[in-house]
Amino acid sequence: MTDQIQSLRDDLDYMKALARDGRQAPILGGVMLLVAGIDFAAASFVQYAAIKGLIGIGPNLASLAWLVAMAIFGVALILTKRRTAGQPGAAAVTNRAVQAVWMGSGWAIFAVALAIVAMSLRMNSAVPTMFFAPFILAVYGISWTVAAVMSRKTWIWVVALSCYAGTVAMGLLAGTAEQMLAYGVALLLLAAAPGVVLMRGEPSDLV
């Protein structure tokens, strides 16, 4: 009986160790945040420049920059998944949770993007497009919140709360060209920059 109790205790200690190691595993996928931040920020800046008449194309043609950005991100996503599959820490509970919420966020963004396009065409108005930037930052905030809870890292909480603040700022700038400028800067600060920080904490064979 004593041996069985000791065996049970050993099993519980082992499970606790696994859970602790999972929480301590570095968050992977920073490169995707870096690519997404730079990629879509560039599209935002192109849109801003077109609206302000700083480049020789109109806002409608400049909207194609978003399609180019999506294509680049899609290729980068495929290459990155192949590179990180099976790497140290990939199966940790923290990484599985964070990857799941970012995946869900990605599908939500894609679905809402299609919905906004549909609404704009149906209403023959650009008004629905003003909702896109605040929605994206709100979704980023949700994803960063999960990452902060799972990893227990204070700096990630700062990023998450900054996303929520950025969401309000995007609402205040709705209807202005400056919304696209501010959105591009927000992507660099709340996606690309944190992505670099995460990359620096990944196992050396990943970066």
pLDDT in tens, 176-204: 999 999 999 999 999 999 999 998 877 65
With 0.85 as the threshold, say if the pTM is over it: no
81 vs 155, which has greater pLDDT? 155
The whole-number pLDDT of residue 84 equals 61
Q: How far is CA 79 from CA 10, 35, 184, in A?
A: 41, 12, 24
Rounded distance, CA 63 to CA 77, Å? 22
User: How much is the average pLDDT of 5-31?
Assistant: 56
The residue whose two tokens read 């978003």 is: 66
Rounded distance, CA 204 to CA 106, Å? 27
Rounded distance, CA 4 to CA 11, Å? 10
The whole-number pLDDT of residue 7 equals 55
